[in-house]
């Protein structure tokens, strides 16, 4: 199949594009031309440089390709960044999604439009866990607000036009080797490089998925016929197991043999979500997906990979 993937300079997108290529699909990677990210995709992937904000260019490109599936991962994905850059967040995560959807409307071959939502859309649920897809969406920061708005827009397109939208809501994912601002990677990197580490609150509870499980959720969605998924508003990609940030730090401390000092509550994120634990029943039932890695197994791999970066080795 011809598959058009946005966000392929990002964490999930770059891995997904390569795995789809290995399954003999024809991949078109829509990449934002930014100076701080190198394009390391296989040369068999068709790379298109463009911006998600350029609706006219998107229409032109998609008309020429006429893909069977679109996977929309392009996003401004940092919650912390969104607090200070609200307009940029809305323009990328909401208006960019609208631009892409409008460009897809005339396509004759389009079978599925897969959109990357987020567990942050659920917000604080009064600790009613695990969270199911029909729980109310209660976004409490700009990143999640834009994602919820994009989600609602796609549901409108689905109901009004029969647009083949599918929304995945991954929970917290770890395994990055190029960005250490996300909580798991930050803890690992700091414990590998410093004697004294500073973090926010140890109390929030998160459902943590290893990167390979996250990517596999998209692979399963690509492979599953739309008719099987069309009545679902969203699908959680999660483990169903919650871990406090404090406990996560302890696990990383034990694996890395960190002997330094941990200092908590240095700076807490505005409108922090207390608890995010997802229910993955729909993913198991409709995608035949389930997590393959325990937290301990995933952390050992993540730590090994980050250690290579710290030691100056090529991953």
Query: In whole angstroms, what is the distance from residue 282 CA to residue 234 CA?
Result: 9
On whether residue 297 sits in a domain, the answer given is no
How buried is residue 288: exposed, middle or buried, by Cβ count under 10 Å (0-12/13-18/19+)? exposed
Element of type H or E holding 90: helix 86-90
User: Which tens digits make up the pLDDT trace of 89-120?
Assistant: 999 999 999 999 999 999 999 999 999 999 99
As for how many domains the chain has, the answer is 1
CATH number at residue 66: 3.40.50.720
Q: What angle do CA 293, 295, 301 make, to 5 degrees?
A: 70
Cα–Cα separations (whole angstroms), residue 70 to 83, 90, 148, 166, 219:
29, 21, 19, 10, 12
In the predicted model, what is the mean pLDDT of residues 146-168?
97
In a domain, 315, yes or no: no
Does residue 132 belong to any structural domain of this protein? yes
- Residue 140 belongs to domain spanning: 2-174+209-238+277-292
In degrees and rounded to multiples of 5, residue 70 shows phi and psi of -115, 130
Parallel, antiparallel, or unpaired: how do β-strands 2-6 and 26-31 relate? parallel
Question: Mean pLDDT over residues 164-191, rounded?
Answer: 96
Question: Model confidence over 22-75: pLDDT tens digits?
Answer: 999 999 999 987 544 556 789 999 999 999 999 999 999 999 999 999 999 999
217 within some domain: yes
The alpha carbon dihedral of 282, 14, 245, 273 has a sign of: negative
Q: Which of 56, 158, 164, 45 lies closest to 110, judged by CA? A: 164
> Is 270 part of any domain?
no
Distance, first Cα to last Cα, the chain = 30
Cα 236 from Cα 215, distance rounded (Å): 13
Does residue 199 belong to any structural domain of this protein?
Answer: no
User: Is residue 232 assigned to a domain?
Assistant: yes
227's tokens: 């008719």
C-alpha distance from residue 169 to each of 8, 14, 32, 279, 288 (Å): 18, 18, 23, 11, 16
Residue with tokens 């770059």, as numbered in its chain: 14
- Residues 179-191: tens digit of each pLDDT: 998 999 999 999 9
Is 71 contained in some domain? yes
């Amino acid at each position: 199949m011809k598959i058009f993937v946005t966000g392929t300079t990002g964490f999930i997108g770059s891995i997904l594009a390569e795995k789809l290529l290995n399954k003999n699909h024809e991949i078109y990677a829509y990449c934002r031309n930014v100076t701080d990210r190198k394009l390391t995709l296989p040369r068999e992937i068709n790379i298109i440089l463009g911006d998600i904000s350029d609706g006219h260019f998107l229409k032109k490109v998609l008309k020429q390709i006429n893909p069977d599936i679109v996977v929309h991962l392009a996003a401004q994905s940092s919650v912390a960044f969104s607090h200070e850059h609200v307009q940029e967040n809305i323009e990328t995560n909401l208006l960019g999604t609208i631009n892409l959807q409008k460009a897809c409307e005339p396509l004759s071959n389009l079978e599925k439009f897969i959109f990357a939502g987020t567990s942050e859309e659920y917000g604080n649920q009064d600790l009613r866990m695990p969270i199911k897809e029909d729980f109310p969406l209660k976004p409490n920061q700009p990143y999640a607000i834009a994602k919820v708005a994009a989600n609602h827009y796609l549901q409108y397109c689905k109901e009004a036009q029969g647009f083949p939208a599918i929304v995945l809501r991954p929970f917290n994912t770890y395994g990055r080797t190029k960005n250490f601002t996300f909580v798991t990677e930050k803890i690992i990197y700091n414990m590998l490089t410093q004697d004294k580490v500073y973090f926010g609150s140890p109390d929030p509870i998160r459902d943590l998925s290893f990167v390979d499980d996250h990517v596999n959720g998209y692979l399963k969605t690509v492979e599953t016929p739309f008719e099987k998924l069309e009545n679902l508003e969203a699908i959680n990609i999660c483990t169903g197991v919650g871990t406090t940030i404090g406990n996560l730090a302890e696990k990383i401390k034990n694996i890395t043999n960190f002997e330094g000092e941990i200092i908590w509550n240095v700076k807490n994120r505005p409108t922090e979500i207390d608890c995010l634990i997802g229910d993955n029943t729909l993913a198991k039932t409709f995608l035949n997906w389930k997590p393959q890695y325990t937290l301990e197994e995933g952390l050992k791999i993540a730590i090994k990979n980050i250690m290579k970066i710290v030691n100056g080795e090529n991953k």
